[in-house]
Structure 1
Amino acid sequence: MSEDRQFIPLNIAVLTVSDTRTAETDKSGLKLKTLLEEAGHRLADKVIVPDDIYHIREVVSKWIADADVQVVITTGGTGLTGRDGTPEAVSPLLDKVIDGFGEMFRVLSYDTIGTSTLQSRAVAGVANGTFIFCLPGSTGACMDGWSKLISSQLDYRTRPCNLVELMPRLHDK
């Protein structure tokens, strides 16, 4: 952390992808809300949608088009089953993929879940100046993704570089 920089709070939207979760049972989405608010960011919106690529894409597209939403974090739908479609829903929307996110997520998850991490299709990228992170649905995976990767990259004080300092240049041509 750089002491000569001030923290910049961001507006972050959280999307839970699940066929079974409700507002009361959405542990992962609620955990992400708590973590981002404890870090000093603002919850822009929180939605739960079924594991359907068109529902996912509809909500994420709305947030990408909203200038007040700077970051989207999804939880769920990143596995291998027939209903897991978050990467397929989000990837076509991305202007650029942040390949290192999925790679690092799986490396860090290996310490917790071993070779089961190869089943994770965590992905991240940027679309219309909005950063998007797609995490698995387990609360542990969300906590790891936030605390070990996302939180420091969404903190302007992180050196040598972070995603926040790139935001003013994301629309450069």
Structure 2
Amino acid sequence: MSRIADDNPFIPVRIAVLTVSDTRDATQDRSGDVLADRIEAAGHTLADRVIVRDERDQIAAQLRGWVASDGVDVVISTGGTGLTGRDVTVEAHRDVYEKEIDAFGTVFTMVSYQKIGTSAVQSRATAGVAGGTYLFALPGSPGACKDAWDEILGPQLDYRHGPCNFVEIMPRLDEHLRRK
């Protein structure tokens, strides 16, 4: 099982939060607040926080901007992962991914099932990598954001977490871009 290796140092990462919503503004962004609070409480840096409408091209453009930035290591989006016609976050993420982290959606479903039962099948949470940046797409509910952070992202974004974690392989995520 997993463990924290106390002999490893904590390495803070720079995390941007993207809320996808046609109706929310900064005063109503409870899911973004949950993520921002947990990011900072864990010792990471909240690199940026933006709200965009449920428009595939706008979502993908924001993701690409952060992927191109030297100041962002991880992007976590919330909202737009459901089944309705306006839910296009997953498609926008996949427009940007170089590699998909297939097991993320599976593990998120397992965690969600423990909390909300069969309603977990309605989520299309996803994750991938582009340009050396991790990209995670979470549902828009504060509960889903709490579960994803507490059960998956918090541990995986902690360099001390074993037997392995996302942080330890960050330096190699874009090695294909550096090969000659």
Q: Would you say same fold, with TM above 0.5?
A: yes
Which position in structure 2 is the counterpart of 1:22?
A: 25
1:99 deviation in Å?
0.7
Which residue number corresponds to residue 117 of structure 1?
120
- Give how far 1:91 is off: 0.5
Query: What corresponds to 2:69 in structure 1?
Result: 66
| DSSP-derived class of the 2:26 partner | coil
2:97 aligned partner, one-letter code: L
Alignment RMSD (CA, Å):
0.6
1:22-171 mapped onto 2 (5 Å cutoff):
22-171=25-174
How many Å separate the matches in 2 of 1:72 and 1:110? 24
- Give the distance between the partners of 1:3 and 1:94, measured in 2 at CA: 33
CA distance in 2, matches of 1:32, 1:169: 26
Q: Structure 1, unaligned stretches of length 5 or more?
A: none
Deviates more, 1:74-83 or 1:106-115: 106-115
Q: Which amino acid aligns with 1:83?
A: R
Give the distance between the partners of 1:119 and 1:171, measured in 2 at CA. 32
Identity %: 55
Is 2:6 the counterpart of 1:3?
A: yes
**What TM-score do the two structures reach when normalised by structure 2?**
0.95
Aligned partner of residue 170 in structure 2, secondary structure: helix
1:170 CA displacement = 1.0
Mean Cα displacement is larger for which, 130-139 or 91-100?
91-100
Return structure 1 stretches of 4+ with deviation > 3 angstroms: none
The Cα shift of 1:64 comes to 0.5
Deviations 1:124-160 (A, max 9, x none): 0110000011000000000000000001110000011
Aligned length: 173
Alpha-carbon distance, 1:81 to partner: 0.1
Structure 2: gaps (5+ residues): none
- Cα displacement (A) at 1:111: 1.1
Equivalent residue letter for 2:100: V
SS for the counterpart of 1:46 is strand
